[in-house]
Amino acid sequence: MPEFSAQDVKKLRDLTGAGMMDAKKALVENDGDAESAGKWLRERGLGKAAERGDRENTQGAVAVAVDGNSAALVQLKCETDFVAKSPDFVAMVNDLATLVAKAGEGAVAERQEDVDNLKITLKENIELGQVVRFEAADGAVIDAYNHIQNGRGVNGVLVEVQGGDQELAHDIAVHIAFAKPGSLRREDVDATLVEDERASLLKETQNEGKPEAAWPKIVEGKVGGWFKRMPGGSLLEQPYAKDDKKTVTQVLGSATVTRFSQVVIGG
């Protein structure tokens, strides 16, 4: 039997998050070589992580990062909020967002081994969720907002505004975080969903006994109201979060939102 001490076992456990018997067996199987034992445990641990792959992982954290004219939004998924707000988990998602902002969406592949190791250490089904990067077009500004809860980001937003300043872009990002629009404009909403709602509103109007000649105008007015209040409605028609007497379009004035992205944990 190879020679190693209880301290060697403890050190390997601290490095890998493995149990005592697993760490001891790893050292036995690898002639006491700690590096090989760590690799053996990681491979074995990944096998166990794969068994957890079917577990629902609707919890997690979101991080945003801005690097000059680029910004990133990264979601890291896990099973419980206990793990999601742990320091190692939060540090990982923040590091990933910083990396993506600097080097692009594909850069997350550089940290895949670290994500895999986190599965072993934290013993949950951990995986990357959405990874988004914006690079500002000429004349545009980008801003980001992340709502923090219990030390982790839970509602991250990126937005690009053409013809406006940084303050306006930030205000729109904050609005998106709390209003949760599903599309930029009404034309982007699924046409089938719109027609189903239009048909329903027509029946409602008919049952109200209004004159038939007035039906089209009444229905269009109701459809407009629906776009403003529907779950996941169109951003440009939503009442502005800080002043609901104005729409987002009115707040923008001559500026335009060219795109946005949002990730909400559990939403």
The model's pLDDT over 179-238, given as tens digits with 9 standing for 90+, comes to 999 899 888 888 888 899 899 999 999 999 889 999 999 999 998 888 877 777 889 999
Residues 249 and 187: their CA atoms lie apart, in Å, by 15
Kindly state whether residues 253 and 155 are assigned to the same domain. Answer: yes
DSSP code of residue 234:
B
Q: What is the pLDDT of residue 249?
A: 95
Q: How far is CA 266 from the centre of its chain?
A: 10
How sure is the predictor about 18, in pLDDT bands with cuts at 50, 70 and 90? Answer: low
Kindly state whether residues 136 and 247 are assigned to the same domain. Answer: yes
Kindly state whether residues 206 and 100 are assigned to the same domain. Answer: no
Kindly state whether residues 154 and 77 are assigned to the same domain. Answer: yes
Specify the amino acid at residue 118: L
Q: Identify which of 265, 261, 263 has the alpha carbon closest to the alpha carbon of residue 134.
A: 261
How sure is the predictor about 46, in pLDDT bands with cuts at 50, 70 and 90? Answer: very low
Kindly state whether residues 137 and 260 are assigned to the same domain. Answer: yes
Q: Which comes out higher in pLDDT, residue 26 or 42?
A: 26
The answer to the question of residue 221 being in a domain is yes
Residue 160 predicted with pLDDT over 90: yes
CB neighbour class for 44 (10 Å; exposed up to 12, middle 13-18, buried from 19) = middle
Q: Residues of the chain with pLDDT > 70: what percent?
A: 92
Q: What is the pLDDT of residue 168?
A: 97
How sure is the predictor about 44, in pLDDT bands with cuts at 50, 70 and 90? Answer: low
Q: What is the pLDDT of residue 56?
A: 78
Q: Residues of the chain with pLDDT > 90: what percent?
A: 58
Q: What is the pTM of this model?
A: 0.75
The answer to the question of residue 215 being in a domain is yes
Kindly state whether residues 112 and 76 are assigned to the same domain. Answer: yes
Note whether 100 and 131 are within 8 A (CB): yes
Which token pair is 211?
């004159």
Query: Who's near 247: CB < 8 A, 6+ residues apart?
Result: 228, 236, 237, 238, 239, 240
Q: What is the pLDDT of residue 47?
A: 40
Which token pair is 128?
């990357």
Q: Which comes out higher in pLDDT, residue 72 or 124?
A: 72
Kindly state whether residues 91 and 108 are assigned to the same domain. Answer: yes
Kindly state whether residues 146 and 245 are assigned to the same domain. Answer: yes
Q: In the chain, count of helices (H) and strands (E)?
A: 10, 8
The answer to the question of residue 253 being in a domain is yes
Residues 153 and 144: their CA atoms lie apart, in Å, by 12
Kindly state whether residues 71 and 167 are assigned to the same domain. Answer: yes
The answer to the question of residue 113 being in a domain is yes
Kindly state whether residues 142 and 245 are assigned to the same domain. Answer: yes
The answer to the question of residue 23 being in a domain is yes
Q: What is the pLDDT of residue 60?
A: 95
**E strand or H helix at 257:** strand 256-264
Q: Identify which of 208, 204, 209, 241 has the alpha carbon closest to the alpha carbon of residue 223.
A: 204
The answer to the question of residue 1 being in a domain is no
- Domain boundary residue among 53, 72, 92? 53
Note whether 187 and 146 are within 8 A (CB): no
Kindly state whether residues 155 and 204 are assigned to the same domain. Answer: no
Kindly state whether residues 12 and 46 are assigned to the same domain. Answer: yes
Total tally of structural domains belonging to the chain: 3
- Which domain does 221 fall in, by range? 190-229
Q: Which comes out higher in pLDDT, residue 228 or 28?
A: 28
